[in-house]
Amino acid sequence: MWFAEVNFVNQRQSRKFWNLAKKKFAGVTLQAGDRTESSGACQRKDKTNLEGSDFVTRQEFEKLTSRGVVVLDGAMGSNLREKGMPVGVCAEQWILEHPDTVLELQRAYIDAGSQIIYAPTFSANRISLAMYGLEDKVEHLNRELVALSKKAADGRALVAGDMTTTGKMLEPRGEMSYERLLEAYKEQVSVLADAGADLIIAETMLAVDETTVILDAAQAVCDLPVMCSLTLESDGSLLYGGTITEAVETLQEMGAAAVGLNCSVGPDQLAAVVRTMKQAAKIPVIVKPNAGMPVMDPRGRAHYNMKPESFALSMMRLVEAGADLVGGCCGTTPEYIRALCRCLEQLHR
Q: Nearer to Zn ion by C-beta: 195 or 265?
A: 265
Residue 291 makes contact with Zn ion by CB under 5 A: no
**Of 208, 160, 196, 164, which is closest to residue 64 (Cα–Cα)?**
160
The Cα–Cα gap between 149 and 197 comes to 9
Stretch that binds Zn ion, among 81-89, 245-253, 302-310, 323-331 (CB under 5 A): 323-331
Q: How many residues bind to Zn ion according to rule CB under 5 A? A: 3
Q: Nearer to Zn ion by C-beta: 60 or 203?
A: 203
Query: Three-state SS for 64?
Result: helix
Q: Nearer to Zn ion by C-beta: 77 or 174?
A: 77
Pairing of strands 294-296, 302-304: antiparallel
Give the burial class of 23: count Cβ atoms within 10 A of its Cβ; 0-12 exposed, 13-18 middle, 19 or more buried: exposed
Residue 329 makes contact with Zn ion by CB under 5 A: yes
Q: Nearer to Zn ion by C-beta: 18 or 304?
A: 304
Q: Nearer to Zn ion by C-beta: 322 or 331?
A: 331
Q: Please state the closest distance from residue 261 (CB atom) to Zn ion, in A.
A: 10
Dihedral angle, C-alpha 128, 129, 130, 134, nearest 10 °:
180
Q: Please state the closest distance from residue 107 (CB atom) to Zn ion, in A.
A: 21
Q: Nearer to Zn ion by C-beta: 214 or 263?
A: 263
Cβ atoms of 229 and 202 within 8 Å: the answer is yes
Stretch that binds Zn ion, among 121-129, 175-183, 255-263, 293-301 (CB under 5 A): 255-263
Cβ atoms of 205 and 170 within 8 Å: the answer is no
**Of 241, 288, 233, 240, which is closest to residue 260 (Cα–Cα)?**
288
Dihedral angle, C-alpha 182, 185, 230, 298, nearest 10 °:
-120
Residue 330 makes contact with Zn ion by CB under 5 A: yes
The sign of the CA dihedral 234, 238, 241, 242 is negative
298 prior amide bond cis, ω within 30: no
Residue 263 makes contact with Zn ion by CB under 5 A: yes
Between 244-253 and 208-221, two packed helices, what is the crossing angle to 10 degrees? 20
**Binding flags for Zn ion, 215-254, as an x/- string (CB under 5 A):** ----------------------------------------
Stretch that binds Zn ion, among 83-91, 135-143, 150-158, 328-336 (CB under 5 A): 328-336
Residue 207 makes contact with Zn ion by CB under 5 A: no
Cβ atoms of 68 and 11 within 8 Å: the answer is yes
Residue 50 makes contact with Zn ion by CB under 5 A: no
Q: Please state the closest distance from residue 175 (CB atom) to Zn ion, in A.
A: 26
Stretch that binds Zn ion, among 57-65, 165-173, 233-241, 324-332 (CB under 5 A): 324-332
Stretch that binds Zn ion, among 27-35, 183-191, 193-201, 259-267 (CB under 5 A): 259-267
Q: Nearer to Zn ion by C-beta: 325 or 330?
A: 330
Q: Nearer to Zn ion by C-beta: 58 or 81?
A: 81
- Phi-psi region at 133: left, alpha or beta (left = phi > 0; alpha = psi -120 to 50): left
Q: Please state the closest distance from residue 206 (CB atom) to Zn ion, in A.
A: 12
Q: Give Cβ neighbours of residue 335 (< 8 Å, ≥ 6 apart).
A: 112, 308
Residue 72 makes contact with Zn ion by CB under 5 A: no
Could you list the residues that contact Zn ion (CB under 5 A)?
263, 329-330
